[in-house]
């Protein structure tokens, strides 16, 4: 009998030990992860930090998204990715011949910066301003700031050079703080501050699209949400940007629309309204055949706008 009692106590002791183990095990299991939280195993992903995010920022954190050419100088900015080694535009101040010319130049450049890059970091806005001024110095574009900004704005087929000038964006009232910021960047650019990362770029587009003309140009840099390009050959060298600024600004906003929103009739298919009496009451107006807007005779298009929206060949 004593031997059986001893075995019974051993069995009870084993059961009690197992019960205590089951009760204490969860505390031991949860303690280890809580201790590990104090020392993270990996650094946080900068792409997930709100302060490091901006439109197009994913391209800066993606491995191998862009491959800079050998010798390209690295930009000292988290918003700039240099893709090619190249010269910057020659420095010069853009001064109007009169106070009105200077005012118009500042207003046109501010509009381009605001409507093209209002939400961009300062680097992105300075790059847009540099593209406008590069075009002014090139013989391939108008010789005035407003002429460059509003080139092709008379069209209604969205093929103007800067889309905001013909797509209705300017109907929205600008945010005053953002406008003041864009104006400050424009003032600095007109005073002669060259934004070197943009180099001799004369074209750009957002990272969300890839227009067909981009394949014929040389990428310069990704700045903010845009990728910037320069022309190949001589037109992409400093020697091609030696045209002096005219100082004359003959317009202060988009051009008057000469490209109708609806198809027009051929010249020989109608007579001017004032040359014929109005149809009698109840009389049907004869139908007029139409043609697409692209069929407008060349004589109705100003020479400097005939290639608007078309990539250079």
Token digits of residue 218: 């040389």
User: What's the structural domain count of the chain?
Assistant: 1
For residues 83 and 59, what is the distance between their CA atoms, to the nearest angstrom? 13
Does residue 258 lie within any of the structural domains? Answer: no
The 10s digit of each residue's pLDDT in 98-109 is 999 999 999 999
pLDDT-flagged residues of the chain (< 70): 1-13, 15, 17-76, 158, 257-313
Does residue 214 lie within any of the structural domains? Answer: yes
Does residue 270 lie within any of the structural domains? Answer: no
Q: Do residues 52 and 79 make contact, with C-beta atoms less than 8 angstroms apart?
A: no
Q: Residue 36: its pLDDT value, please?
A: 40
Q: For residue 131, what are the domain limits?
A: 72-240
Q: Residue 277: its pLDDT value, please?
A: 43
Does residue 36 lie within any of the structural domains? Answer: no
Q: Residue 261: its pLDDT value, please?
A: 52
For residues 284 and 288, what is the distance between their CA atoms, to the nearest angstrom? 12
Neighbours of 51 (CB within 10 A): 6
For residues 70 and 74, what is the distance between their CA atoms, to the nearest angstrom? 11
Does residue 76 lie within any of the structural domains? Answer: yes
Does residue 81 lie within any of the structural domains? Answer: yes
The structure's pTM equals 0.61
Q: Residue 311: its pLDDT value, please?
A: 44
Q: Residue length, the chain?
A: 313
- Alpha-carbon torsion (15, 17, 18, 20), positive or negative: positive
Q: Residue 209: its pLDDT value, please?
A: 85
CATH code of residue 230: 1.10.10.2520
Does residue 296 lie within any of the structural domains? Answer: no
Q: Which of 218, 245, 234, 238 is nearest to 88 (CA)?
A: 238
Does residue 227 lie within any of the structural domains? Answer: yes
Q: Residue 88: its pLDDT value, please?
A: 86
């Amino acid at each position: 009998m004593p031997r059986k009692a001893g075995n019974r106590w051993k069995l009870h002791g084993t059961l009690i030990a197992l019960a205590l183990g089951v009760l204490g095990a969860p505390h031991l299991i949860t303690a280890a992860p809580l201790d590990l939280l104090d020392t993270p195993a990996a650094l946080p992903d900068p792409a997930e930090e709100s302060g490091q995010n901006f439109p197009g920022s994913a391209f800066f954190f993606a491995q191998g998204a862009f491959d800079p050419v050998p010798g390209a100088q690295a930009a000292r900015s988290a918003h700039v990715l240099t893709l090619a080694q190249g010269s910057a535009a020659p420095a010069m101040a853009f001064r109007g011949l009169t106070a009105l010319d200077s005012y118009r130049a500042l207003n046109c450049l501010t509009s381009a910066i605001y409507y093209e890059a209002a939400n961009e970091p300062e680097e992105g806005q300075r790059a847009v301003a540099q593209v406008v001024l590069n075009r002014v110095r090139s013989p391939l574009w108008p010789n005035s700031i407003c002429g460059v900004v509003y080139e092709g704005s008379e069209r209604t087929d969205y093929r103007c050079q800067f889309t905001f000038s013909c797509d209705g964006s300017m109907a929205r009232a600008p945010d005053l703080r953002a406008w003041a910021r864009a104006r400050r960047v424009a003032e600095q650019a007109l005073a002669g501050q060259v934004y070197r990362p943009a180099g001799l770029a004369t074209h750009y587009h957002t990272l969300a699209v890839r227009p067909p003309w981009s394949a014929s140009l040389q990428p310069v840099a990704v700045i903010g949400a845009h990728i910037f390009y320069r022309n190949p050959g001589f037109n992409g060298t400093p020697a091609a940007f030696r045209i002096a600024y005219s100082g004359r600004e003959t317009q202060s906003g988009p051009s008057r629309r000469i490209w109708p929103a609806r198809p027009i009739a051929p010249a020989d298919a109608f007579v001017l309204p004032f040359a014929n009496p109005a149809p009698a009451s109840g009389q049907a107006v004869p139908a007029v055949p139409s043609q697409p807007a692209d069929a407008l005779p060349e004589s109705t298009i100003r020479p400097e706008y005939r290639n608007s929206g078309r990539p250079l060949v």
